[in-house]
Amino acid sequence: MNAATHPIEQLHAELSDLDWVTDESRIARLSQDFNWYSPVLKRQLEGKRAAAAVRPRNEDEIRRLVSVCARLRVPITVRGSGTGNYGQCVPLHGGVLLDMSGYNAFLWALGGLLQVP
């Protein structure tokens, strides 16, 4: 791979089988939560967004994505359903947004542990 290639392009090339979000307006929407309830956070987080977003289908895809992001030093922001209102899912430094909304069930729970499908 060409050393001059942008890290996000490298991610797409190395992990082309992942479910990448390609619509820019959807990436912008996924990069926000309800932080606009706070005038302070609204100002601080305005314009912050991910450079890319992906919807993992299984644990292996998550592992592979995190591994390549770590190697390329690409920041990862994890997002659930985006119902927070303190900017928890807002990517402060671009990078990749990991959309975990598909993980909305679990197989079992025991004590403080649970397993998702």
Give the separation between CA 21 and CA 41, rounded to whole angstroms: 26
Number of folded domains that form the chain:
1
Buried b vs exposed e over 22-52: b needs ≥16 C-beta within 10 Å? eeeeebeebbbbebeeeeebeeebeebbbbb
Residue 1 domain flag: no
Residue 73 domain flag: yes
Domain of residue 74, CATH code: 3.30.43.10
Residues 6+ apart with CB under 8 A from 14: 1, 68
DSSP 8-state code for residue 48: -
pLDDT in tens, 79-114: 988 888 788 889 889 999 999 988 777 777 888 887
The answer to whether residue 1 scores a pLDDT higher than 70 is no
AA identity, residue 46: E
pTM for the whole structure:
0.81
Residue 82 structural domain:
7-102+110-115
